[in-house]
Amino acid sequence: MDLSAVAFYLFSILIIGSAAIMVFSKNIVHSAFALMFTLAGLAAFYALLYAGFVAVTQLLVYVGGILVLILFGVMLTTRGYFEKVRTRTVNLLPSTIFAGIIGMLLIAVFVTTKWAMNPMEDGEVTMTGLGELLLTDFMLPFQVAGVLLLLAIIGAVLMAARSHPPQQKAGSNPQNAGRSPSGEPPES
Residue 139 binds to other proteins (criterion: CB under 8 A): no
Of the two residues 171 and 186, which places its CB atom closer to other proteins in the complex?
186
Closest CA to 85 of 18, 26, 20: 26
For residues 3-33, one letter each, b for 16 or more C-beta atoms within 10 angstroms of the residue's C-beta and e for the rest, the string is eeeeeeeebeebbeebbebbeebeebeebbe
Hey, how many other C-beta atoms are within 10 angstroms of the C-beta on 53? 15
Spell out the residues 6+ positions from residue 27 whose beta carbon is closer than 8 angstroms to its own.
82, 85, 86
Binding track, positions 6-35, relative to other proteins; x by CB under 8 A: --xx--x--xx--xx-xx----x--xx--x
Question: Any idea what DSSP says for residue 115?
Answer: P
In angstroms, give the least distance from the CB of 175 to other proteins. 9
Residue 44 binds to other proteins (criterion: CB under 8 A): no
In angstroms, give the least distance from the CB of 170 to other proteins. 10
**What whole-number distance in Å separates Cα of residue 163 and Cα of residue 27?**
27
Restricting to residues 153-172, which ones interact with other proteins according to CB under 8 A? 153, 155-157, 159-160, 163-166
Residue selected from 30, 33, 37, 70 as contacting other proteins according to rule CB under 8 A: 70
Restricting to residues 98-137, which ones interact with other proteins according to CB under 8 A? 98-100, 102-103, 106-107, 110-111, 115-120, 124-125, 129-130, 133-134
Task: For residue 86, give the 3-state DSSP assignment.
Answer: strand
Residue 143 binds to other proteins (criterion: CB under 8 A): no
Residue 36 binds to other proteins (criterion: CB under 8 A): no
In angstroms, give the least distance from the CB of 180 to other proteins. 5
Hey, how many other C-beta atoms are within 10 angstroms of the C-beta on 34? 19
In angstroms, give the least distance from the CB of 83 to other proteins. 16
